[in-house]
Amino acid sequence: MRHQGTADMPATRNPRGRLRDYIAIARLDHMTKHVFILPGIILAHVLRHPATQTVPLTILMGLLSAVAIASANYVINEWLDREFDAFHPLKSSRTAVHRNLSPAIVYTEYMLLVVLGLGLAMQLGALFAFTAAAFVLSGLIYNVAPIRTKDRVYLDVLSESINNPIRLMLGWTMVDPTTMPPSSLLFAYWMGGGFLMAAKRLAEYRDITADGGADLLPRYRRSFSRYNAEYLAVSCLLYAMLSAFFLAVFLIKYRQEYIFALPFIAILFASYFWLAMLHGSVASRPERLFRSRRLMLASLSVAVALTVLTFIDMPFLNDLSAPSYVHVRP
């Protein structure tokens, strides 16, 4: 898995990596991204009504498996991107850029995390294990040459955001290991992730070009040689609309009452896009999104709306969803 990058790494003498440096490249501080697992857990309970209660140990093992595999993906990502990250104003401070890490230790760390993650996954059933294996594969496809989709325009967003439905699957199969979530929900999650990743790139593009570093963008990430602010903004709109479409299909099919949560979800999307348009936005660093009070308030509104609508039945929606016409006498 040797990276064949062509970026010119600034010649510096980096100190030898220490134990804490190898721990740092696992990015355990990014565990907040696993919040996308929680809706899978909740929706499986609401929609599937499992006969037996989910054992807390199952949830714990599932989360540990997800964390281990995500950390493995981060390890290989930081190692293979070290030459390119040197040209990014923020990522240039990453450990792999400034420390002389041992390739043997890095790949051993990666394999140990993969073995731990998959080992835990196999204790939770075949479907969970298959999903965990897909999580590992997505990291390889995204980061490792010759495929390395992160260098390919638009495909970089779609391949990175596939981790969203994977996380949803992980949460769902912790509760119901015999079924998959509805395809409409998986696609909504995927396109929602596409919106988040495109907005992240838009924030990066705006920040770096505003600071006079436009020439560094393609050296940091090759896909930026084909991107501009307009393309990224339009792609954000496309992904948001597709996510809303699939989400509406899911809501109408499985619980029509949830349709009233769509305005709150639209506000959440708008809040995130607004963040992406700000200079120095946290949208370019998703692990710090919890620092945005506006975004957290919008997220809380969505959670409250969905919770309330879970316990309120509205039979009249069946009549409203049936075709009807207004007849006018000639």
Instruction: Measure the CA–CA gap between 115 and 47, rounded to whole angstroms.
Output: 32
pLDDT tier at 35, thresholds 50, 70, 90: confident
Helical spans, DSSP H, in the chain:
19-24, 38-48, 56-80, 82-85, 95-98, 103-121, 126-143, 155-161, 163-175, 183-210, 217-220, 229-254, 262-276, 293-310, 316-320
Q: Provide the token pair at 124.
A: 């939770």
What is the number of other CB atoms lying within 10 angstroms of the CB of residue 100? 12
- Residue-wise pLDDT tens digits, 268-303: 999 999 988 988 877 777 767 777 788 889 889 998
Q: How far, CA to CA in Å, does 130 sit from each of 48, 134, 179, 326?
A: 20, 6, 13, 51
Three-class SS state of 100? strand
Phi then psi for residue 185, to 5 deg, are -70, -40
The first and second tokens of residue 107, run together, are: 């790949």
pLDDT band per the 50, 70, 90 thresholds, residue 10: very low
φ, ψ for residue 191, nearest 5 deg? -70, -35
Spatial contact of 70 and 30, defined as CB atoms under 8 Å apart: yes
Please state, in angstroms and rounded to a whole number, the distance separating the CA atoms of residues 256 and 314. Answer: 8
Check pLDDT > 70 for residue 18: yes
CA 131 to chain centre: 15
CA gap 63, 38 in Å, rounded:
10
Greater model confidence, 315 or 69:
69
151-193 pLDDT, tens per residue?
999 999 999 999 999 999 999 999 999 999 999 999 999 999 9
The lowest-confidence range among 2-16, 109-123, 132-146 is: 2-16
State residue 12's pLDDT score: 52
Contact criterion met (CB below 8 Å) for 165 and 188: no
For 48-92, the pLDDT digits (tens) are 877 666 678 999 999 999 999 999 999 999 999 999 888 888 888
- Supply 79's token pair: 């190692």
Separation CA 329–CA 265 (nearest Å): 41
pLDDT at residue 266 above 60? yes
Asked if the model's pLDDT at residue 9 lies above 50, the reply is no
Mean pLDDT, to the nearest integer, of 106-133?
A: 96
Whether the CB-CB separation of 26 and 71 falls below 8 Å is answered with: yes
pLDDT of residue 52: 66
In this prediction, residue 3 carries a pLDDT of 41
What value, to the nearest 5°, has the Cα angle with vertex 76 and ends 32 and 123? 65
pLDDT greater than 80 at residue 257: yes
| Helix residue ranges per DSSP H, 211-327 | 217-220, 229-254, 262-276, 293-310, 316-320
Is the pLDDT at 252 greater than 70? The verdict is yes
Global pTM reads 0.87
Res 7 pLDDT > 80: no
Kindly report the length of the chain: 330
CA distance 263 to 238: 18
CA 189, 148, 1, 88 dihedral sign is negative
The answer to whether 216 and 268 have CB atoms below 8 angstroms apart is no
When the pLDDT of each residue in the chain is averaged and rounded to a whole number, the result is 88
CA distance 223 to 198: 12
